[in-house]
Chain A
Amino acid sequence: MSIGSVPLRYLITMDIDRCMRCGRCIENCPYGVFRREGEQIRVNSRPCTACHRCISQCPRDAISLEERPVDYRSHPVWTTEVREAIYNQARSGKIILAGMGNALPYPIIFDRLVLDACQVTNPSIDPLREPMELRTYLGKKPSRLRFRETPGGDIELATEIAPNLQLETPIMIGHMSYGAISLNAQLSLARAAHETGTFMGTGEGGLHEHLYPYQDRMIVQVASGRFGVDINYLDRGAAIEIKIGQGAKPGIGGHLPGEKVCADVSCTRMIPLGSDAISPAPHHDIYSIEDLKQLVRGLKEATEWKKLVFVKIAAVHNTAAIAAGIARSSADAVVVDGFRGGTGAAPRVFRDHVGIPIEAAIASVDAKLRQQGIRNEVSVIASGGIRESADIAKVIALGADAVYIGTASLVAMGCRVCGACYRGLCPWGIATQREDLVARLDPDEASVQVANLIKAWTLELSELMGAAGINSIESLRGNRDRLRGYLLDDGILKVLDVKPVGA
């Protein structure tokens, strides 16, 4: 072992008595942890990523995994992560790329917010028996209605309503591109979105022809790389989303390494096989807010003002003011992506240190838009770090219209959040383009799993709303009176416009 090598991260052990030497672990591990030596199966734990594929496939439960079997001397400042990052950079002299979302133990605001329930002064509503409305419309709403009298003396609507997307649940599936994830993964998500009456994002990798049957449920993304973007692509989507930034790495662009650009990905993205797909920050035609307006309008003009245009930004310090600018740009929705948002690969220093949590960002965006009297100009979509239905209820109460889920939908398909997406060897067939691995993900099965998750969360949301005596989601939206902060400081309570517990 040379200077800078680090102890094992995971230790795999085999219970020899249980193992039947069937070799499934060998077949299933793309990292080469297992190999056969004569009658025995040998283990090399070092390449293990804790993806749990072997464990899930072992018919005898013979495999066990231990994290960090070798301790460093414990130290509150010089953590294991800090030390290992230094070893890595001392060796390489490079920027560290890492997978998944923010990995620092910041307190999670969601977990310090509690929801309300009715007792006596108003009744809870049982969603099994009574109507419960989660239907959500995304898009521009007029700030007021005008009516005119017909010659016959009837009152008729004079205000024209802009196109809106109709969702049967406020849960949408966020943008994960083909390239970052496999076609089978995208197909599964698309079918689930179709099944549950919601929408999913294509990500910035274009729209594969196998997804055309679901195009009415797809929001096509236009990022700075403009991969796969042409007029047909824009026409196919139910809506168009301009990606300005991403919560996992605000201020920097995206980068799909050439090795993930296989023939099919290259075709969908319309770039040469094996070339890096680089989406720089910023868009080259957006160097200022009026330029954003121009791109929004350019997209609307191209699609004859029939398509909604969303704008996605990473949650940063000044998000509220930026959102107000977006609301004035003709955009129909602003997507705010919090700093816990996932990604296939991001520089560790950005992933862990740049941006703000979604809870605070949504609260301030909603407040700012109301202050300026432009809340109806845009819908507000929260994304980045939505882990369960309670998070959704809370973020809607803080002012969001709907949410995007990303990582959670992958977990529903088997993802174990091992964070090695960037390796391109995802043993679950999700974040990979290797054919044999992709084939492991069966869209028939995975789409049901994802749809189940959305249905389950939707049910839980109904129950939470019913308990709060609310039978329509618009009465939860921005209803911060139904939240209380538990051990949150005064500053953050003020930002959230939420009272402390007991108050």
Chain B
Amino acid sequence: MCGIIGVVDRDRKGMSGASIKQALSMMNERGSGEGAGYVAYGAFPDYADYYALHIFFDNIRETKPKVEDIIERWGTIVHDEQIPTYEQPGIRKVHIPWRYFFRPDPLLMPRSTTPEEDIVTHLVMQVNSSVKGALIFSSGKNIAVFKASGWPEEVADFYRIQDYKGYIWLGHNRYPTNTPGWWGGAHPFNLLNWSVVHNGEITSYGTNRRYIESYGYQCTMFTDTEVVAYLIDLLVRRHLLPIPLAVRALAPPFWDEIDRMPEVEQQLNRAIRLTYGAALMNGPFAIVIANQDGIVGFTDRIKLRPLVAGECGARLYISSEEAAIRRIEPDIPRIFMPRAGEPVIGRVAS
């Protein structure tokens, strides 16, 4: 189920949302019209230094003041606005999407080495687990998330994503089984600067969730994908693993492969599996993860879900299907299929 696509421009050139919409809609056979979503990095150049908290409100009158009260306890709201939407025949607007540009006060998290990020994480966990009728669905800097229940084109038009520019875009076309129709269940899932789109089902979810919860994350979205965002946040931001090693922890080599490696590599891989066994993701999946520095795509260890990648100049594409990439770049010079568990990484030039 589901179709995914991601693109990065390694020169940080902005791309409008128009082409990602077309690409994603190439994969409508993979969806059911009950959920789609996009994320754009670099979407808010005017507020680039503030955390862009995206919130679905069920009720503006009752819930919004409650949430704002919580947010303002942790810092300053620099600007806020209703996220502009445009009526579409296929979309019933069940939530009011709002965005806040927020500056956390680092003095409020004195013992942390990353106080701002910890405050934002805490805010997300607190609001999502305790305030009924509000869901923070994105919380990164300079990052816009657009999602709703509908077909990819409808969701794109509902938010007019062609009006936004991003140097990274991810898109997701959903075929839900668990929470159809719930906007919160649509991808991408975001926490801080991490966004995840995911095709598949994580059979190790119960193990992964309990592991991540012991580090203070709270899974509130009733879906396995959310846990990927938290795992990546834990491994990369908090444990400082380089991305390739973080991916190795999530989709490690098999023991028999490790046994055949040279000594030093063996030690490294054994250490990863011993330490992060509970982070190993099992079951069929293809995932694209983004942060402000780039995108990474990978599949489960036995390649139960499809994933292709393509390169065209500064742009790297990762998608469930080649057609989606060729919809944007018909003459793309290089298309390749990554090995199971091996990450495809597109890093923006620093």
Docked-complex contact B302 and A130, CB < 8 angstroms: yes
Question: Contact between A137 and B282 (Cβ–Cβ < 8 Å)?
Answer: no
Contact of A470 among B241, B256, B274, B282 (CB under 8 A): B282
Q: Is the CB of A144 within 8 A of B245?
A: no
Indicate if A248 sits at the interface (CB-CB under 8 A).
no
A478 and B207 CA atoms in complex are apart in Å by: 5
Q: A-B contact count, CB below 8 Å? A: 121
Q: For residue A116, which residue of chain B has the nearest CB? A: B203
- B240: chain A residues within 8 A (beta carbon): 146-147
Q: Which of A121, A141, A477 contacts B274 (CB 8 A)?
A: A141
Query: Hey, which chain B residues are within 8 Å of A161, CB to CB?
Result: 267, 270-271, 274-275
Q: What CA separation (Å) do A472 and B257 show in the bound complex?
A: 14
Within the complex, the shortest CB–CB distance from B178 to chain A, in Å, comes to 9
- Tell me, rounded to whole Å, the shortest Cβ–Cβ distance linking A328 to chain B: 16
Is B207 within 8 A of A479, CB to CB?
A: yes
Point out the residue from A135, A144, A480 that lies within 8 Å of B255, measured CB to CB.
Answer: A135
Q: Interface size of A by Cβ–Cβ distance < 8 Å? A: 43
Partner of B239, one of A123, A145, A156, A478: A145
Chain B 176-193, CB-CB to A under 8 Å as 1, else 0, gives: 010000000000000000
A472 touching B282 by the CB < 8 A rule? yes
Given A125, A164, A478, which contacts B206 in the complex, CB threshold below 8 Å? Answer: A478
Write out the residue numbers on chain B whose beta carbons fall within 8 Å of the beta carbon of A274.
Answer: none
Asked if B304 is at the interface (CB within 8 A of a chain A CB), the reply is yes
Taking each of B245, B274, B304, which has the highest tally of chain A beta carbons within 10 Å of its own beta carbon? B274
In the complex, residue of chain B having the shortest beta-carbon distance to the beta carbon of A399: B210
Identify whether the interface residues of A are mostly helix, strand, loop, or mixed: loop
Which of B177, B213, B302 contacts A121, CB < 8 Å?
A: B177
Establish whether residues B215 and A373, one from each chain, have CB atoms under 8 Å apart when the complex forms: yes
B-chain residues with CB within 8 Å of residue A370 when the two chains form the complex: 210-211, 213-214
Residues in chain A near residue B14, CB distance under 8 A: none
Cβ of B205 within 8 Å of any chain A Cβ, yes or no, is: yes
Measured between alpha carbons, how far is A155 from B213 in the docked complex, in Å?
A: 29
Nearest chain-B residue to A140 (Cβ)?
A: B274
Q: List 23 A-B contacts (CB under 8 A).
A: A133-B255, A141-B275, A142-B271, A145-B239, A155-B242, A161-B274, A370-B214, A371-B214, A373-B214, A373-B215, A469-B282, A470-B203, A470-B283, A472-B301, A474-B207, A477-B207, A478-B207, A478-B210, A479-B205, A479-B206, A479-B207, A481-B205, A481-B206
Q: A370-B214, A375-B211, A474-B207 are in contact. List 17 more A-B contacts (CB 8 A).
A: A121-B1, A122-B283, A131-B301, A135-B255, A145-B245, A147-B241, A161-B270, A370-B211, A375-B278, A470-B282, A474-B273, A474-B277, A475-B203, A475-B281, A478-B207, A478-B210, A481-B205
